[in-house]
Structure 1
Amino acid sequence: MLRWLQIGILLPLFSLGRGNFSSGSFNLTLYRQMPPLHQLDDYDLCLDRPSGSYCLAYVEILPNASSTLWHLIHEVSQDSKHRFRHDRVFRGVCLEGCKKRLIDLSESREHEEGTFLDQELIAYYAKVHRRASDADERLLYEELVNSCLNLKFGEEFSLQTRSLIEYCDTADDHLEHDGLDLIFYALLICILLLTLCSSIYDFRLSQINPQQTENFYRKAPSSRSKCKHPNLTRPLYITLSILALAVPAILTYVLELDAVYHLRPETYRYLYFRHSDTFYQMYPPFYTNLGGYLLGFLCGHLYLKKRPQGLVFRGNLKFELAMWLLVLATLGLLFSGYIFIRQDFAKPSLWLALYAGVHKNLWLLICAGFVFLMCCKVGGMAYDFCTLPLFRPLARISFQSFLWHVVILRIVAGCFRQPVYVSSFYLMCNVLSVFIITQVVAAFVAIVLELPLGEVLRCLMKPETGREEPNPVIQTSRAQSAV
């Protein structure tokens, strides 16, 4: 029975991987007629000249009722929940080539004045690019860049644009450290010093009274499992349960958030600062994760309670069935949220708020169930895979991987100069390459720096030879009689 249940769950998963969930029909020929979302002049070639200047510009395509192409752009851009807005594009402009193009044509288009439609984005760029030179460059090159872009859009698409320079780079531009850089360096030094001092203090404490330190670590789990006020345990759990459901629901209703967080194409495009209110309000704050704290308490309590009895439930039909039912619950929860991703509902809505509260806590319950069952050695192939010896060295360098992962991502992303065609295969290769590079760098730093320094510190803190340990505890037992 359990085998048939596994097959019944895995078959839909394979069919989902082959499915196509794109909303509406997609015409590639019409899509290619629209202006590209990003089009960049050669950055390295532009700045290779001593007087080279390169500007990235945000461009809004102006409405044109007589243009068939504009109507297509407008229609596609209306569904910003599932598609990119094609009436908002970005252009990288080499100013030397821009000036040459205008001189050759002996023509300069009139600078399009007016108010930008996307004031939120304009305010964001003004906040991010706050160098004194940015404002000067906008005033100096704004008309030039807008004339070039209008000339190009007029020739290729018979459309007019309004542009804003996001930032400019010049060949002789040198990035200077500001106050935020100095604050970051100071915090980093403080963290390193605190880590070193705490390690030295721990070694000293172990030297002074090793038996007391060992007893402390032995008694800590048992003392944590005992509550000084057992009568308050149940009211505390009930209160946490109510708050875990109520807080996400109230926030969803009051702030008019989405019931399910959905990464829109525009969210990727603007690097997660737009259309992410649901994420920032529902996931990072501690008060929206009370359900996780509650389930963590319950799982820990259950684990400590069952540990003396032995936590090996592998092969037990009841627990194996529970694991696969959790898989079904995961699929059901995913499908239940699809309607909120596909459709737009009026906000605020009481039903959206109730679903948001239940949805978030059901995910936590499913994750807690998976963790507890895996601790009980339940899970079949999944448990066998997670306990492979391969993961032991990866676990030893996991801290270094955590430290270097963002650095590797930054370096890999900085290698791209032009937009790339993103497919499933490309994305998989990119993820694997970043993972492998991160692990290689983490292993190198661990071998060259972390492990040797740890050994040096251990040798420096090593007790003196021949030093008598205080309060030795000798356990004796009566020898068995040979008779």
Structure 2
Amino acid sequence: MKCLLTLFFCFVCLRNAKSQYPFNMSEYLQMPPLYQLDDYDACLHYSNKPTKTYCVVYAEIVPDPFSKAWQRVEHFSVDFMQRYRHDRLFMGVCVERCESVWHGFNISQRQVFNSGPTDDAALKEYYDNVHIRSTKERQQYEVILNVCLNYEFQQKYQLQIKTNIEYCQSSDEAIDKDALDYTLYFIFLSIALFSVMSTIYDSQLKAKAATEKQQFFYETELTSTAQRYLTSFSVCRNFKRLTASPTGKTANDLKFLNFARVIPEFVIIFGHTAGYFMSVQVSNTEFVENFIHYEKTSFLENYTAVIVQIFFIMSSFLLTLLFNKRNPITPNSGFKECVKAYFKIFIYRYLRLVPTLALVLLFNATLMPRLHNGPFWRHLTEAERIFCRQNWWKNIFFVNNLTMDKSCTQHSWYISADTQLFAIFLFVLIFNARYPKMKKIIYTLLLISAIAIPAFIVYHKNIDPIMRINPEIYRYMFFKGVKTFYEIHIPFYTHLGAYILGIITAEIYMKLQNHMQSKSYRGVWWTELCWLTLFITLISFPFVGVNLTNKSSLWLGLYAGLYKNVWALFCCLILISTCYKLGGILYDLLSSSILQPLANISYQAFLWHVLALHLLLSYYRQPMYLNTPILVYFVILSLLITNLIAFFMTIFVEYPSTEIVNCLCRKSKDNFGRRNNKSPVTSHQD
């Protein structure tokens, strides 16, 4: 089913890509290609020199108003919000070739062709911070490569270029193993040993159990804390947890939320895959520019802005249900009791999130750079290696969305934002439980803030209200031109609306729950029609393209304040109406048991999907040709690999660590969040 949905979204997204962006293709092809790469393997492995070196160089074309070649480049680069800057190039250079050119010049010729470093000092500083391993080579070959490449570029295009070496790779270079590497190897070995021993022990317990209990032994929770510890890594038990059907009235009512966890994950992976193609070397860059033409892909930009609202709504919805089910605070609770409940709940959630997140950081810092090689491998992965070593604390303490500079695993900004919102609204729930008369006032203030904060930020800073798809952003892996991303897309305070609406929806659900059981509207034509109208409106909402160009700051601020919140409101209306089992065959599809395992691995899929993209796309030696079938193929392949990795990480890491945390908290009678493993809504959002 996921593959069919993938094909549908890709078709809708790309069917218009064939219609050309209005430009002269013959002139376009006369421009210098954005990526020019020497043969990587021939340079490093098939040369007679003892030590061979391959460098990736960033180049800027020097403007020449009298040159037709420059006029062509300038014309095609002026709309850099929808096109590449064709005066910014990446070149892969075999140093041995350029040394031959260098030695063929005398001193005066070298001076003539030495155009100096690039003007983008910030990018140079960024590369200096990331590619620490190449500091010596950059100093050694900077001038040689500048002279060589400038000479060749002038011969072909009659234009000058300034260059800056991003990094160099030597044939005999290897990454030295350190304590972090051995720590990761030790963890993997320990997980393997624990899994084998725990599985054997669990099978022995099953053999000793009564005959009538053996059939459902792995589905049954053990009563002994010691046995739960010892079977936490049991592969058989964890596999049953992954595939088990939900039990309980509320769990069955909310089975459709599995769809809401799986489909946004798919959309995110689809969007990141499409964006990743803007980061790698592509030969036919006109395809990418056609693809991101605003009028063709406004829906993708809109979905990028709103899709995570579904996760925030589910997070707050489930938080409210669990909080009211446990009921840890009453109007008679004291201050110490409130503080104790707050930290107990928050720490429990923190301990459930951290183990697999820490493993991702450790993997990116150690093993991932060793998995492949190629001209662009370090361009796309070295920042992860360096920043995960230097700034891991940003992710572990869930603040990387507030300090994205030099942070790793950037897509985990959502987890940090969700944790921050969880911390804030957990306080709100405790306060409301202690002072119930203040609830309406607090909710009103929060709803006003949810609209006012993003509106004020956009109006005051005069930025786009949604993150535009810009190829230049992806070329530098979100290093350049990301003001909207930093200011609007990732801070927790721009997502208050989804969270507070999720809480209100949960309270409405709890009040109507008895009515839902006694009164059925399923099959009634007017209720089904209302549900279908809501559903179509919800999925069509982002397809309504709004031209944000040359709009006033006041209008953009109003748009920023309302757009995501209106989408979130429609999501909540759909959520409540679906609780009444409206939707006919669509409800049956949303509640399908096939989605249960996919929903259970969605957290791991989100964490590890960027690794799948690195493995699929970062090792190519030459610029790759891109078209619609190839993009569809890679989207499907990335989904398959992502979910395969997520399956193993859920079985071997997430479930064991969660069970250990549950055992640690078991002695507390009011333990919040101890989950029924068969619940369809148990994930990191709990």
The TM-score normalised by the length of structure 2 is 0.54
Are 1:173 and 2:379 an aligned pair?
A: no
Larger radius of gyration: 1
Deviation at 1:450, TM superposition (A): 7.5
**Structure-2 separation of matches of 1:85 and 1:46:** 29
Are 1:368 and 2:577 an aligned pair?
A: no
Among 105, 110, 127, the alignment partner of 2:129 is 127
**Structure-2 separation of matches of 1:374 and 1:328:** 15
SS of 2:85's equivalent in the other structure is coil
Match of 1:308 in 2: 514
The code of the aligned residue for 2:580 comes to C
- The answer as to whether partners of 1:47 and 1:171 remain within 8 angstroms in 2 is yes
Once the two structures are superposed, the pairs formed by residues 253-292 of structure 1 within 5 Å of their partners are 253-292=459-498
Are 1:405 and 2:605 an aligned pair?
A: no
Deviations 1:341-372 (A, max 9, x none): xx2446xx222112211112112222323333
Deviations 1:231-267 (A, max 9, x none): 2111111101110011101111222221222121111
- The answer as to whether partners of 2:65 and 2:71 remain within 8 angstroms in 1 is yes
Match of 2:163 in 1: 163
- The answer as to whether partners of 1:112 and 1:161 remain within 8 angstroms in 2 is no
Match of 1:99 in 2: 99
**Structure-2 separation of matches of 1:217 and 1:202:** 26
- The answer as to whether partners of 2:222 and 2:228 remain within 8 angstroms in 1 is no
SS of 1:250's equivalent in the other structure is helix
- The answer as to whether partners of 2:59 and 2:162 remain within 8 angstroms in 1 is yes
**Structure-1 separation of matches of 2:117 and 2:88:** 14
1:147–1:287 Cα change, 3 Å: same
1:30–1:428 Cα change, 3 Å: same
Are 1:220 and 2:287 an aligned pair?
A: no
The code of the aligned residue for 1:53 comes to T
Are 1:34 and 2:31 an aligned pair?
A: yes
**Structure-2 separation of matches of 1:268 and 1:385:** 36
The code of the aligned residue for 1:278 comes to T
SS of 1:310's equivalent in the other structure is helix
Deviations 1:199-229 (A, max 9, x none): 999936999xxxxxxxx99951697899443
Once the two structures are superposed, the pairs formed by residues 142-153 of structure 1 within 5 Å of their partners are 142-153=142-153
**Structure-2 separation of matches of 1:230 and 1:450:** 36
Match of 1:462 in 2: none
Match of 1:3 in 2: none
Match of 2:52 in 1: 52
- With 275-284 and 318-327 compared, the bigger mean Cα shift is at 318-327
Are 1:324 and 2:321 an aligned pair?
A: no
- The answer as to whether partners of 1:54 and 1:92 remain within 8 angstroms in 2 is yes
Match of 2:391 in 1: none
SS of 1:110's equivalent in the other structure is helix
- The answer as to whether partners of 2:62 and 2:159 remain within 8 angstroms in 1 is yes
1:201–1:248 Cα change, 3 Å: farther
SS of 1:377's equivalent in the other structure is coil
- Unmatched runs of 5 consecutive residues or more in structure 1: 1-12, 208-215, 460-483
SS of 2:112's equivalent in the other structure is coil
The code of the aligned residue for 1:367 comes to C
Deviation at 1:406, TM superposition (A): 3.2
Deviation at 1:381, TM superposition (A): 4.7
- The answer as to whether partners of 1:323 and 1:373 remain within 8 angstroms in 2 is no
The code of the aligned residue for 1:99 comes to E
Deviation at 1:442, TM superposition (A): 3.9
1:358–1:419 Cα change, 3 Å: same
The code of the aligned residue for 1:203 comes to T
- The answer as to whether partners of 1:61 and 1:160 remain within 8 angstroms in 2 is yes
Match of 2:225 in 1: 203
Match of 1:478 in 2: none
Match of 1:68 in 2: 68
**Structure-1 separation of matches of 2:466 and 2:78:** 21
- The answer as to whether partners of 1:326 and 1:369 remain within 8 angstroms in 2 is no
Across the aligned residues of Structure 1 and Structure 2, the Cα RMSD in angstroms comes to 4.1
**Structure-1 separation of matches of 2:625 and 2:99:** 30
**Structure-1 separation of matches of 2:539 and 2:604:** 32
- The answer as to whether partners of 1:54 and 1:93 remain within 8 angstroms in 2 is yes
**Structure-2 separation of matches of 1:119 and 1:449:** 43
Match of 1:477 in 2: none
1:90–1:344 Cα change, 3 Å: farther
- The answer as to whether partners of 1:333 and 1:359 remain within 8 angstroms in 2 is no
Among 398, 402, 414, the alignment partner of 2:618 is 414
**Structure-1 separation of matches of 2:20 and 2:459:** 27
Match of 2:136 in 1: 136
1:38–1:322 Cα change, 3 Å: same
**Which structure carries more relative contact order (alpha carbon 8 Å, separation 6+)?**
2
**Structure-1 separation of matches of 2:595 and 2:491:** 31
The code of the aligned residue for 2:509 comes to Y
- With 63-72 and 306-315 compared, the bigger mean Cα shift is at 306-315
SS of 1:162's equivalent in the other structure is strand
1:277–1:134 Cα change, 3 Å: same
- With 162-171 and 368-377 compared, the bigger mean Cα shift is at 368-377
SS of 2:59's equivalent in the other structure is strand
1:437–1:385 Cα change, 3 Å: same
1:124–1:313 Cα change, 3 Å: farther
**Structure-1 separation of matches of 2:147 and 2:610:** 39
The code of the aligned residue for 1:414 comes to S
Deviations 1:47-88 (A, max 9, x none): 214411011111001112232111010111111111100011
Once the two structures are superposed, the pairs formed by residues 239-258 of structure 1 within 5 Å of their partners are 239-258=445-464
SS of 1:261's equivalent in the other structure is coil
Deviation at 1:388, TM superposition (A): 2.8
SS of 2:57's equivalent in the other structure is strand
**Structure-2 separation of matches of 1:401 and 1:427:** 20
**Structure-1 separation of matches of 2:571 and 2:618:** 35
**Structure-1 separation of matches of 2:661 and 2:443:** 44
Among 613, 618, 627, the alignment partner of 1:423 is 627
Deviations 1:120-146 (A, max 9, x none): 3223223323x2x53332221011111
The code of the aligned residue for 2:225 comes to F
- Unmatched runs of 5 consecutive residues or more in structure 2: 1-9, 196-220, 230-321, 330-428, 664-686
Deviations 1:415-439 (A, max 9, x none): 3222212222211110111211233
Once the two structures are superposed, the pairs formed by residues 1-40 of structure 1 within 5 Å of their partners are 18-19=15-16, 25-40=22-37
Match of 2:636 in 1: 432
